[in-house]
Amino acid sequence: MTTTRDQNTHPGFHYHIDPEATSHELMNEAMEWLQYARSLTRLLADFIHATDAMDCQRVAHGMEAIGALMHMGVQCTAQAHARMCWEQAKE
């Protein structure tokens, strides 16, 4: 019998975005987070291709890390978008 963990939509960490960051800086930061996720995805894929016996625990941890990195990229992008909209509304 398999058991599943409770799935939450928020990772178990909190990253506070600099409130003084410009939307341009936030977009650059989002790109960095997403590049980290892309690199980790490629590393995980190489690991899976190279192994005969897959370690499901490692794969699961890798996928969770990718999800966390992508979550940060999305958060930075959302913050940048909100700041751009706010700046346009002030004009």
* Tens-place pLDDT, residues 54-81: 888 988 999 999 999 999 999 999 999 9
Strands (E) in the chain, as ranges, are none
Q: Tell me phi and psi for residue 62, to 5 degrees.
A: -60, -40
Residue 3 belongs to a domain: no
Residue 48 belongs to a domain: yes
The residue count of the chain comes to 91
Tokens 């190489």 belong to which residue? 46
Domain span at residue 46?
Answer: 23-90
Which amino acid would we find at residue 37?
A
Q: Tell me phi and psi for residue 44, to 5 degrees.
A: -65, -40
Confidence at residue 13, expressed as pLDDT on a 0 to 100 scale? 60
Residue 72 belongs to a domain: yes
Confidence at residue 55, expressed as pLDDT on a 0 to 100 scale? 85
Confidence at residue 43, expressed as pLDDT on a 0 to 100 scale? 93
Residue 71 belongs to a domain: yes
The predicted model scores a pTM of 0.76
Residue 39 has pLDDT above 80, yes or no: yes
Residue 18 belongs to a domain: no
Average pLDDT score over the chain: 85
Q: What total of structural domains would you count in the chain?
A: 1
